[in-house]
Amino acid sequence: MELKKQSKFSKWITVPMFGLIIIFSVLFIISSFYDFEIMQIFEKLLNYDFFRYFSSFWHEMGYTELIIPLVASGLVLVEYMYRYIKIDKKKDWQSKLFLFVLYAILISAFVIQLYMKWNSSMSKVREFPNGGPNIEFIRLVNLKELTIIISIIFTIQSAIMLTCIILLRFYFSKNKKFIQGGYWKPAIAVLLIFVIGYAVIGSLKIMSWRNFYSQSLESKEFKINWIANEYGLDIEWIKENMDKVYQVIGKPHEYQEWWEFNIFVPNGRPLVWNLNIFTNSAFPSGHVVSSSCTVMSMAYFITPNKKGVIKNKRKEIIKTSILYLGFIHMALMVFSFLINGSHYLSDTSFSYVWVIISAIIAYKIADKIANKVNKKLNK
């Protein structure tokens, strides 16, 4: 057997990729000078229910969307192991058991991720003092609204995951391209982009420990006023009991530029390596890494024709449209963060540039791995 490989991306992928690198590089430079002012402008959109729901929806979606391509890539590799790795002196039922167990493990990982995220999101809903509502204070959604938003997200993601499982097990694993090894390299590339992307982003988060805009005094005052007006609370009582209010929503932090790394300019936050760095440090954005890794995974698997010979025009249009919808999704993720104050524009634009570069690096490394495996298989 020889693993089929593609040495280059289609131009329908490379052109928008490099376009995004230029756009987000420019945004990163601009935001380096006007980060705080940009956030103050976009935060005002929370006064409109549509943008409030939109920002919460896209924010929550970013927590769990990456698990889909990771599990799907794992299942692709499992299918190859089941099809091509010969287990000496093993019965057929043992090979099928091997396939079933690995499928069960990966699908369980997906379900566990959704379950953990549900509990995590619901734990952030707290009761505002003085008879106020149960509300999530960063995105200003109450318990009922958040339950509906997460339920919709999990339903969509579960449907996508189930579709991937069915298509992979009963269709793709039996078609010619799969048998020739056409999906092996993209699966490796997806895992590589995850490792490369998060390794750098995580390291920078440790050194930075930048505060979020939502932790600033200006953002907290805006949201306190919004809650008071929306639910008819006494603003004077809130002002007189700020210590009690801050016990619920957290005390404000001073603004910190992205280049003021905690490792060089101490800001009072500990320099430690643990999973909290992905949720408690703003720069760079881990959410964006998740979103863009998901889209770049689509770019690996859904590859438009690059030779200029289009046999099925409708199929090419569908594949290209899916990819471009993914790129739009990346932009909407940034927009949602600007509205709810989860990340500064510099946090997200930097992450996008890095992940696109990581995607290219991962693709090249996967190509070399495929070459080495081919040489061993052909001996």
Q: Is the pLDDT of residue 314 over 90?
A: no
Cα 76 to Cα 6: distance, rounded to the nearest angstrom: 17
Q: Is residue 134 part of a domain?
A: yes
Q: Residue 227's pLDDT is what?
A: 82
Cα 79 to Cα 73: distance, rounded to the nearest angstrom: 10
Backbone dihedral region for residue 131 (phi beyond 0: left; psi -120 to 50: alpha; all else: beta) = left
Overall average pLDDT of the 300-309 stretch = 58
Three-class secondary structure of residue 252 per DSSP = coil
Quick one: pLDDT band at residue 124, thresholds 50, 70, 90? confident
* Residue 7, amino acid: S
Per-residue model confidence as pLDDT tens digits over 189-232: 888 888 888 888 888 887 777 888 888 888 888 888 888 888 88
Q: Residue 2's pLDDT is what?
A: 43
Q: Is residue 5 part of a domain?
A: no
Check if the beta carbon of residue 139 is closer than 8 Å to that of residue 56: yes
Number of domains in the chain: 1
Least confident of 70-79, 273-282, 347-356: 273-282
Q: Is residue 6 part of a domain?
A: no
Q: Is residue 2 part of a domain?
A: no
Centre a 10 Å sphere on the Cβ of residue 359 and count the other Cβ atoms it contains.
26
Quick one: pLDDT band at residue 156, thresholds 50, 70, 90? very high
Check if the beta carbon of residue 278 is closer than 8 Å to that of residue 205: yes
User: pTM for the full model?
Assistant: 0.81
Q: Which domain range does residue 369 map to?
A: 11-377
129 preceded by cis ω (within 30°)? no
| Of 96-100, 244-248, 349-353, highest mean pLDDT | 349-353
Cα 204 to Cα 354: distance, rounded to the nearest angstrom: 12
Cα 233 to Cα 251: distance, rounded to the nearest angstrom: 20
Tokens of 286: 């881990």
- H or E element: which one contains 154? helix 143-170
Q: Is residue 1 part of a domain?
A: no
